[in-house]
């Protein structure tokens, strides 16, 4: 889950590399490093443990490092603790071959033993040092140039990697290799860039190349060539990125997370507008037509983290509307379960990054089993987007904060649209309800803006409860799905122990943990379940809980039970998640701020989890 960058041009490389790494810091931030070749052919490697700013200070923002060709890395430790010695770049002992890597070389021990037998010594605990030294070994042993050495090493690597490698003897080139880890390449006049995602490149160009699996790219100054494992040159067409460069900047907000929370109405509106045309949902770009829809016997939604919680809500929405059996599962479980699937099943993979290792493995398994696959993905050109049969792109734009907000909200829209249209095709949703749901869908962005206006009350409440040790979120049905996401946000960025329970289940365990003052958030947006959830709230209150309630305007009787209430505007019951999640995002955000934590980069987490 590390981030890598590369620059080859005429400008001073180090400041460009550091700026690029700052855009990728969400991918890992326990150490960082750069390698830059100067005019005399020598390469300077500078590394630092800790946040990127330590490396930046060490190099005076990059100004202290000479040279116009370089590579850089920001690390999320997998093999070896965060330390300067384990930080990338890694190099051969003579500094002839230098590289950075994102991913995991699974058979690194076996390769390390082989290299040790050939006299290689290792200084770090990383798989990357082994990979670079293997390339060095083939480079020196066969003497057939970098492309030969890299492709030869690639046939020996097992695992995922996006690598950028420099060779002393080829001073004007950067070599890049990829398998199952993201990498994007961009060209501008006389210069070339590579990065783990488009955000470091957007400022220079919107025309980018997505290098495929088991392919190598050779970056010159303003040029790029692609090769397959047989070293045959291949053609890759550039793609145009529609993301705005400013979208990846904080733009006056204190944190990316609060900026992204405020961008939700736009992310939702853009995603709705991409599929609602003339008062109807049009899935033609997704490629799901009536005939396809009617063939679907069952649906499995597979994802990780918040994307899984979108699946939990999606299960209620799709099953409820389209009357198709839906199962939702964590990708890390699904991939080892040997699921029962055939061509009549649809597997929906939900992923912001499109690169999550477990979700990608789940997708491949589903395909192998013959199921039809659909990805709800935010990052265009990502691995999942490229490998699914159908892709529904969410239009959330670049999301930088580790904890997702606007991508989650955009994914929900995709679920609603799918549920509604499948229902329409199957005849389980009449014209009148369909039309009213479309109208409600289009009202959501404005309603979300209204909920955001209530943020000061939530900020006040968060400050009051900043010392909370434990928190419980309860709800039924869709409200349970909302509770799961609210609880995850609280853990992720506020480090509060929190649990989400189906409200009816609290009597089977968690109620024993309720003491005087324990904070419980009750979510009750579903009419049919309101009284049931309220009773569960009364049960915890009578054991001393302090209660926050979230419900729709009009359900004022909740005030008899809850100590603090947040109301959301009325919408179709299937859409309430989009509104009720906002106060919970704000609660965890303000609580994290009140505790003085690093909101955008919470400890131990990374945004894009490309390891198992
Ligand atoms: C990480 C992020 C979460 C995200 C999950 C799945 O854990 O911190 O915010 O929900 O990965 O990521 P994906 O890119 O597949 O949606």
Query: In whole angstroms, what is the distance from residue 196 CA to residue 383 CA?
Result: 12
Separation of CA 528 and ligand 1 centre (Å)? 32
Q: What is the pLDDT of residue 605?
A: 85
Confidence check: pLDDT of 216 > 90: yes
Confidence check: pLDDT of 252 > 90: no
Q: Ligand 1 pocket test: which of 302, 303, 404 has the largest number of ligand atoms within 8 Å of its C-beta?
A: 404
Decide which of 270 and 160 is more confident: 270
> Which CA distances in Å does 332 have to 74, 180, 198, 329?
25, 17, 27, 9
Query: Any idea which residue has 């603790």 for tokens?
Result: 81
**Catalytic status, residue 112:** no
Q: Label residues 544-569 b or e (16+ Cβ within 10 Å = b).
A: ebbbbbbbbeebeebeebbebbbbbb
From the list 2, 91, 304, 593, the catalytic residue is 2
Q: What is the pLDDT of residue 167?
A: 97
| Residue 243: pLDDT band with limits 50, 70, 90 | confident
Q: Ligand 1 pocket test: which of 306, 396, 400 has the largest number of ligand atoms within 8 Å of its C-beta?
A: 306
Confidence check: pLDDT of 407 > 80: yes
| Residue 80: pLDDT band with limits 50, 70, 90 | confident
360-390 pLDDT, tens digit each: 999 999 999 999 999 999 998 889 999 999 9
| Residue 348: pLDDT band with limits 50, 70, 90 | very high
**Catalytic status, residue 593:** no
- φ/ψ of 341, rounded to 5, equals -145, 150
What average pLDDT does this structure show over 586-595? Answer: 96
Residues 6+ apart with CB under 8 A from 224: 185, 187, 192, 209, 217, 218
DSSP-assigned letter for residue 477? T
> Which CA distances in Å does 336 have to 311, 330, 551?
19, 11, 38
- Asked if 67 contacts 15 with a C-beta cutoff of 8 angstroms, the reply is no
What average pLDDT does this structure show over 532-548? Answer: 94
Q: What is the pLDDT of residue 611?
A: 74
Query: Any idea which residue has 């330590």 for tokens?
Result: 54
- Asked if 356 contacts 395 with a C-beta cutoff of 8 angstroms, the reply is no
User: Mean pLDDT, the chain, as a whole number?
Assistant: 94
Q: Picking from 79-93, 297-311, 581-595, which range would have the lowest pLDDT averaged per residue?
A: 79-93
Count CA within 13 A, CB hemisphere, residue 55: 34
What average pLDDT does this structure show over 546-554? Answer: 96
Q: Which residues line ligand 1 (CB under 6 A)?
A: 304-307, 351-353, 356, 359, 402-404, 605, 607-609
262-285 pLDDT, tens digit each: 999 999 999 999 999 999 999 999
Query: What proportion of the chain, given as a percentage, has pLDDT over 90?
Result: 86
Query: In whole angstroms, what is the distance from residue 358 CA to residue 360 CA?
Result: 5
Q: Ligand 1 pocket test: which of 196, 312, 356, 606 has the largest number of ligand atoms within 8 Å of its C-beta?
A: 356
Q: What is the pLDDT of residue 260?
A: 96
286-304 pLDDT, tens digit each: 999 999 999 999 999 999 9
Measuring from atom 4 of ligand 1, which residue has the nearest CA? 305
Separation of CA 257 and ligand 1 centre (Å)? 14
Alpha carbon 402 to chain centroid, angstroms: 8
Ligand 1: atom nearest CA of 407 is 16
Residue 6: strand, helix, or coil:
strand
Measuring from atom 3 of ligand 1, which residue has the nearest CA? 305
Count CA within 13 A, CB hemisphere, residue 484: 19
Q: What is the pLDDT of residue 25?
A: 85
What average pLDDT does this structure show over 51-59? Answer: 93
Cis, bond preceding 89 (omega within 30 deg of 0): yes
Q: What is the pLDDT of residue 217?
A: 98
Q: How many residues does the chain have?
A: 612
Query: In whole angstroms, what is the distance from residue 470 CA to residue 416 CA?
Result: 33
Query: In whole angstroms, what is the distance from residue 373 CA to residue 391 CA?
Result: 9
- φ/ψ of 21, rounded to 5, equals -65, -35
- Asked if 181 contacts 102 with a C-beta cutoff of 8 angstroms, the reply is yes
Confidence check: pLDDT of 101 > 90: yes
* N-terminal to C-terminal alpha carbon distance within the chain: 10
Q: What is the pLDDT of residue 249?
A: 81
What average pLDDT does this structure show over 4-19? Answer: 97
Residue 437 in tokens: 């749901």
What average pLDDT does this structure show over 210-233? Answer: 96
Confidence check: pLDDT of 250 > 80: yes
What average pLDDT does this structure show over 150-174? Answer: 96
| Residue 78: pLDDT band with limits 50, 70, 90 | confident
Ligand 1: atom nearest CA of 402 is 8
Q: What is the pLDDT of residue 81?
A: 82
Separation of CA 607 and ligand 1 centre (Å)? 6
From the list 112, 424, 455, 607, the catalytic residue is 607
Q: What is the pLDDT of residue 548?
A: 96
Confidence check: pLDDT of 247 > 90: no
Does pTM top 0.75 for this prediction? yes
Separation of CA 352 and ligand 1 centre (Å)? 7
Dihedral sign (CA 475, 480, 486, 489): positive
């Amino acid at each position: 889950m590390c981030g890598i960058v590369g620059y080859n041009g005429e400008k001073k490389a180090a400041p460009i590399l550091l700026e690029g790494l700052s855009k990728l810091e969400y991918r890992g931030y326990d150490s960082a490093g750069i390698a830059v070749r100067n005019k005399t052919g020598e390469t300077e490697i500078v590394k630092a443990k800790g946040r990127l700013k330590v490396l930046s200070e060490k190099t005076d923002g990059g100004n202290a490092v000479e040279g116009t060709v370089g590579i850089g890395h920001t690390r999320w430790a997998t093999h070896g603790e965060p330390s300067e010695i384990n930080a990338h770049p890694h190099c051969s002992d003579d500094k002839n071959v230098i590289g950075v890597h994102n991913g995991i070389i699974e058979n690194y021990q076996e390769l390390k033993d082989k290299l040790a037998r050939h006299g290689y010594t290792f200084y770090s605990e990383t798989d990357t040092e082994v990979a670079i030294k293997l390339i060095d070994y083939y480079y020196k042993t066969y003497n057939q140039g970098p492309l030969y050495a890299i492709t030869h090493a690639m046939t020996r690597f097992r695992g995922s990697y996006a690598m950028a490698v420099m060779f002393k003897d080829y001073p004007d080139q950067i070599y890049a290799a990829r398998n199952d880890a993201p990498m994007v390449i961009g060209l501008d006049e006389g210069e070339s860039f590579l990065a783990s995602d488009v955000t470091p490149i957007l400022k220079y160009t919107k025309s980018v190349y997505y290098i495929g699996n088991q392919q190598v790219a050779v970056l010159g100054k303003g040029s790029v060539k692609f090769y397959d494992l047989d070293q045959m040159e291949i053609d890759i067409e550039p793609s145009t990125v529609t993301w705005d460069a400013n979208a990846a900047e904080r733009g006056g907000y204190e944190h990316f997370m609060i900026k992204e929370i405020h961008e939700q109405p736009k992310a939702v509106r853009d995603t709705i507008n991409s599929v609602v045309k003339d008062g109807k949902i049009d899935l033609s770009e997704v490629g799901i037509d009536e005939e396809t829809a009617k063939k679907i016997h069952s649906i499995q939604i597979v994802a990780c983290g918040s994307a899984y919680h979108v699946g939990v809500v999606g299960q209620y929405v799709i099953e409820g509307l389209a009357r198709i059996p839906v199962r939702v599962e964590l990708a890390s479980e699904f991939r080892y379960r040997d699921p029962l699937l055939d061509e009549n099943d649809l597997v929906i993979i939900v992923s912001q990054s499109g690169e999550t290792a477990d979700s990608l493995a789940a997708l491949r398994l589903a395909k192998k089993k013959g199921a039809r696959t659909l990805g709800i993905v935010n990052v265009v050109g990502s691995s999942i987007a490229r490998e699914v049969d159908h892709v529904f792109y969410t239009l959330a734009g670049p999301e930088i904060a580790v904890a997702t907000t606007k991508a989650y909200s955009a994914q929900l829209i995709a679920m609603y649209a799918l549920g509604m249209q499948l229902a329409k095709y199957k005849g389980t949703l009449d014209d009148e309800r369909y039309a009213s749901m479309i109208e409600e869908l289009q009202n959501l962005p404005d309603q979300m803006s209204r909920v955001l206006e209530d943020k000061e009350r939530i900020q006040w409440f968060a400050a009051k409860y900043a010392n909370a040790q434990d928190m419980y979120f309860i709800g039924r049905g869709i409200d349970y799905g909302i509770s799961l996401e609210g609880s995850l946000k609280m853990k992720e960025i506020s480090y509060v122990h929190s649990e989400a329970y189906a409200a009816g289940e609290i009597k089977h365990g968690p109620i024993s943990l309720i003491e005087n003052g324990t904070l419980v958030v009750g979510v009750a947006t579903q009419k049919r379940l309101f009284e049931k959830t309220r009773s569960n709230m009364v049960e915890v209150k009578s054991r001393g809980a302090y209660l926050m309630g979230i419900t729709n305007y009009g359900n004022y009787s909740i005030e008899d039970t809850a100590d603090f209430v947040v109301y959301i505007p009325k919408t179709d019951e299937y859409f309430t998640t989009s509104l009720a999640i906002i106060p919970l995002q704000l609660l965890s955000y303000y609580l994290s701020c009140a505790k003085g934590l690093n909101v955008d980069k919470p400890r131990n987490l990374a945004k894009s989890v490309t390891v198992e």
